[in-house]
Structure 1
Amino acid sequence: MMELIVISKPTLFKEESSLINQLFEAGLQVFHLRKENVDEAAYRKIIKGISPEYHSRIALHHFHSLAGDYHIQRIHHTESFRKERHSGELPENKIFSTSIHHLADRNQIGQYNYSFFGPVFNSLSKPGYKSMIPSHFRLEKHQAAPKIIALGGIGLTEIDQVKEMNFDGIALLGSIWNDPSQAITTFKKALVKCEA
């Protein structure tokens, strides 16, 4: 079974927390809260709107200090943050994720639990963000390496192909949020495909 992660829409929108709760109710295990240009108050508002029983499934991309306020166990380090941070051990009481855009960087992320890699296909949410891998790509697994989660341009029709590429999971963004009225339906169909 492939893991299925949902990343938040980059911009704020009405009823967002309600929709995130519905995704959790539908079986979502991990939700990445990533908003590039919003302040801490907006992050707090979203988290407060999410049922506390789901807080442990949220991964924070920004404002990591909020983790303590809301019992959040997951922290995401962007590629730039990770590189600026250099090395040093990560605390063991949290689940850490990061992102890479080149598979050669896998040797720099050994202490992370998992990493996003992409774009696997041309992005659905960022025009001009093109795939970086060949069509017959297959991920080589390394012993004790972090799990690699495919990201970028993944809709329902691409999930089987991502499975064949040997990724540990997929992250959905554009396919969920480009039409929020279909978000739950799309998620449920994707979950069935990932569990098949």
Structure 2
Amino acid sequence: MEAEDGEEIIRLIIISPPEDIPDEPKVIGRVLQQSGATIHLRKPGQTVRRIADYLRQVPVSYHPRIMVHGHSGLLDHFDLMGVHFTEKERARNLQRLRQLRLDRPGCLLSSAFHRIADIPEYDGLLDYILLSPIFDSISKQGYRAAFDHAELRRFLSGTPHCVIALGGVDAKQAATAASLGFEGIAVLGAVWQAGSPERAAGQLSNVCAELTRLKSTAGR
């Protein structure tokens, strides 16, 4: 993905905690205020009505920085960034994904993959891909890295897909992810297990900005 001026940047995606935390929509608003992140609103098992109620508690100005997991009908009621499809949802609703691309060309579409072999040839359908687990998970005990770094470098150097690193990513691992060729990082535990999610998000945003600067300098 590129910034509006064409510069390639290291993106920061923050996935919402799967279990609700106190005043979470307000915390999400502060996280967005303190960072340049995109929020992936992921609430397994919650109804579309509950997700809609959640979104109404987040300042409207931040809605264009939120990707919802599933519940694509929310695009009819909120000015969201787009929709993320899990592996199962993608396989089950591939036609829906294709229809969204036709009906909403300005809407971003993303999906999750756990094997390089499953990533399709680039066809413009997905704006970016979350690939995991890249490092040992912070939030899931026993969830280990599943990729060889040399294999990742080979794949990332040749794919036209925008691929985001997910799984065990924190401020220290962000530089490694960028060096492998990832165009961004997606985090969960690094923010929600921190004492202050807002501060953690701001620090990660600064890390991504610095990595973007280094990438730009190296490319000159």
Q: TM-score, normalised by structure 2?
A: 0.81
Map 1:100-139 onto structure 2 (within 5 A).
100-107=113-120, 110=123, 111-136=125-150, 137-138=152-153, 139=155
**Alpha-carbon displacement from aligned partner over 1:142-177 (angstroms, at most 9, x marks no partner):** 46x331000001112111111111100000111111
Structure 1: gaps spanning 5 or more residues: none
Q: Answer yes or no: is the 8 Å Cα contact 2:81–2:107 preserved in 1.
A: yes
Map 1:82-161 onto structure 2 (within 5 A).
82-86=90-94, 88=98, 90-91=101-102, 92-107=105-120, 110=123, 111-136=125-150, 137-138=152-153, 139-142=155-158, 145-161=160-176
Counterpart of 1:54, as a letter, is Y
How large is the Cα RMSD of the aligned pairs? 1.8
SS of residue matched to 2:169: coil
Instruction: State the 1:109 CA deviation.
Output: 5.8
In structure 2, do the counterparts of structure 1 residues 14 and 154 end up closer, same or farther at CA, with 3 Å as the change threshold?
A: same
Instruction: State the 1:29 CA deviation.
Output: 3.7
Q: 1:166 is matched with which residue: 181, 205, 209?
A: 181
- The percentage of counterpart residues that share the same residue type is 24
Q: Aligned partners of 1:184 and 1:78: how far apart in 2?
A: 26
Q: TM-score, normalised by structure 1?
A: 0.90
Structure 2: gaps spanning 5 or more residues: 1-8, 211-220
Counterpart of 1:185, as a letter, is R
Map 1:8-19 onto structure 2 (within 5 A).
8-19=16-27
Q: Aligned partners of 1:125 and 1:12: how far apart in 2?
A: 15
Q: Aligned partners of 1:122 and 1:185: how far apart in 2?
A: 23
